[in-house]
Amino acid sequence: MLERKRILLILTGSIAAYKSLDLIRLLTKAGASVEGVLTEGGKQFVTPLSVETLTGKKAHVEMWDSQAYEMSHIELSRRADLIVVAPATANFISKMVRGEGDDLASTLILAKNKPVILAPSMNVEMWENPAFQRNLEIAKSDGATVIPPQADMLACGEIGMGKMAEPGSIMEVIDDHFRLASTLEGRRAIVTSGGTIERIDSVRHISNFSSGKQGNAIAIALAQSGAKVTLVLGKNSIGPASHPNLEVLEVVSAEEMHESVHKALPADIFVGCAAVCDFKVVNPSDRKIKKSEGLNIKFAENPDIVRSVGKLGPTDRPAVVVGFAAETEELIDNAQAKLDIKGCDLIVANNVSGGSVFGQDDNTAHFVTPEGSVELGTLSKRQLGQEISLWIFERLRR
């Protein structure tokens, strides 16, 4: 996947810079061409000579290199397929989102026309600082892919989030980037995510345990593949996903989600990942119901959002419709039944018994189609989102 790919690697001032030397080794072994850029801070931890020895190319440090005939900050970006900042310090990310350009590395980012992957590395308090987290969200919304750090013993002796991801993990993200890049360019997608809320009175409601992690991961994977994505997001515990190709519509109830989905049509792709409440309260109270009054709740069925899209006529139905089956028993049989009932091309089936999926970072899934089922095993929700995006791409190529 990385044969003849050109990677520009920026090393900033963190002790984790020593691990970036191993990342260079992995990249070049996979066939990539790597060119290194070091900040002044980066030079304190690894030498330009070390980077040059591993890449076989000049390591770039100075903005004004008298031996370089080109404008380095322009040319370095233009001849790369991907820019990776590993390690990415809090200071560098902050400069990046403010649009500062006071050295070669920051000016290169300011002049870039290529995708950027950030692998942050810093002290846990810096990582959790609200100002830095705001900067990180801006970097994501500007299109950067962020590889979260690990929780571990840090170089400063403190324990917590901030340790840069291992080189092997960074390699996986780089490989995924090239697998997905531009595969869905020119396509429009709608993704539902999170749970819905059905109000009982002014303080109580009915909902479920959905965190929104899987739906958000799918929306990001589709956006990174080039699709213009509308994410219809219900109750969630992680906040909306962000990407330049992504529009987020926040909703509360199943009826609101149903209305937002149909307003967002037409689309080429629909993925119904939201955990939608099957029933709504038809007699909600505008005030808090007192315990002494008792509850006299009446229910009615909510619209089946996936079915309402999957059963549209041929001129209105998206070319690919994907649904989810969260089951506690007879997983494959129930998923296969939903294929026809909901009019789906693919059902992603997972066993949610024992709280093994909701709120977790991993998912154990099967792809169920009219041709049969394929077990994917346990993947991170990010990886599963990418597998769904690739399946959709292959389906659209038929």
Q: Are strands 198-199 and 205-206 parallel, antiparallel or unpaired?
A: antiparallel
Is-contact 210 285, C-beta < 8 A? Answer: no
Residues with Cβ within 8 Å of residue 21, at least 6 apart in sequence: 46, 50, 51, 54
Q: Coil, strand, or helix at residue 217?
A: helix
Q: How many residues does the chain have?
A: 398
Is-contact 82 114, C-beta < 8 A? Answer: yes
Active-site residue among 156, 273, 277, 344?
A: 156
276 burial (CB, 10 Å; 0-12 / 13-18 / 19+) is buried
Give CA–CA dist 261/256, Å, rounded: 9
Structure tokens at 59: 């390591």
Place of tokens 């997905």: 180
Task: Provide φ and ψ at 138, rounded to 5°.
Answer: -65, -45
Task: Say whether 156 is catalytic.
Answer: yes
Residues with Cβ within 8 Å of residue 207, at least 6 apart in sequence: 195, 196, 197, 198, 235, 277
Give CA–CA dist 365/329, Å, rounded: 14
Residues designated as active site: 156
